[in-house]
Amino acid sequence: MCRWVAYRGQPVLLSSVITEPSHSLIHQSLHALEAKTETNGDGFGVGWYGEHHEPGLYKELRPAWGDENLSHLARQIRSKLFFAHIRAATGTATSRANCHPFSHGRFMFMHNGQIGGWSRLRRSIEAMIPDELYNDRQGTTDSEAIFLAALAQHAAKDPAGAMGRVLSEIVRLMQAAGITQALRFAAVMADGRDIWAFRWSTDLKSPTLYWKQIDGALIVVSEPLDESPGNWRMVPEGNMLMALGDSAPVIKPFMVEMPRAVA
């Protein structure tokens, strides 16, 4: 499974969240002992809002812990809203274009999970992306396809509704194709000001999603970054976290209309 962290708060150096804490994202990817899965080494990415209205992205395939470029960038880039993601590939190629986060205009997205039967459904899920967005598709992941499809569903105006419609349609396609594997989804999206994080699955086994507030900042993670997990709150299965403007984060149900199973 992938691991990631999202930060929103007073502008801080990326290093304070990504590389420095004893259980930073880098540390996690290196010592992924607690996890029962593979280590996370299929590329990583960092996205941040800074000098430009569109987020900056830095992606690399060598392991994050040995990348001097990342060390330098983490202690030079200060941002009030940034994402970092370490990828564990699930069948698709290891390439920069397949690394998270993905961006489009001012939007940024990253994801942990899987679409059951992706290799069979790729074509029909990509068909959910309209022509004007399709040419921006750079890689071959399900994650990027979900993101572009959500943008087409007006994620800019109604992120939760758009994401719910996309997942609902994907489940419909899975059912139509007779796929019995699950769809599991934990993701976070931002527009430079607001953050939305989602946790949902068809088998109630969503990837984990935690958050905490500290010194006025919001941190959303796939797994706790430090050893006091008591401070981290879990977003429950089937819920979402919404942090608009300077408001406190709100947890509320994330509605995905389940299509009636094909008889």
Residues that bind a copy of itself (CB under 8 A): 13, 30-33, 38-39, 41-43, 48, 50-52, 56-63, 65-69, 72-73, 75-78, 89, 93-97, 119-120, 122-123, 131, 134-135, 137-140
In the complex with a copy of itself, the residue whose CB is nearer, 82 or 210, is 82
Determine the 3-state secondary structure of 214 from DSSP. strand
- For the bound state, the minimum distance from the C-beta of residue 72 to a copy of itself, rounded and expressed in Å, comes to 4
Closest listed residue to residue 223, CA positions, set 235, 239, 214, 213: 235
- For the bound state, the minimum distance from the C-beta of residue 110 to a copy of itself, rounded and expressed in Å, comes to 16
CA distances from 187 to 20, 50, 51, 164, 177 (A): 24, 22, 25, 12, 24
In the complex with a copy of itself, the residue whose CB is nearer, 10 or 228, is 10
In the complex with a copy of itself, the residue whose CB is nearer, 71 or 175, is 71
CA angle 127, 130, 134 (to 5 degrees): 85
Closest listed residue to residue 164, CA positions, set 221, 85, 172: 172
- For the bound state, the minimum distance from the C-beta of residue 12 to a copy of itself, rounded and expressed in Å, comes to 10
CA distances from 125 to 75, 110, 121 (A): 39, 18, 6
In the complex with a copy of itself, the residue whose CB is nearer, 57 or 251, is 57
- For the bound state, the minimum distance from the C-beta of residue 146 to a copy of itself, rounded and expressed in Å, comes to 17
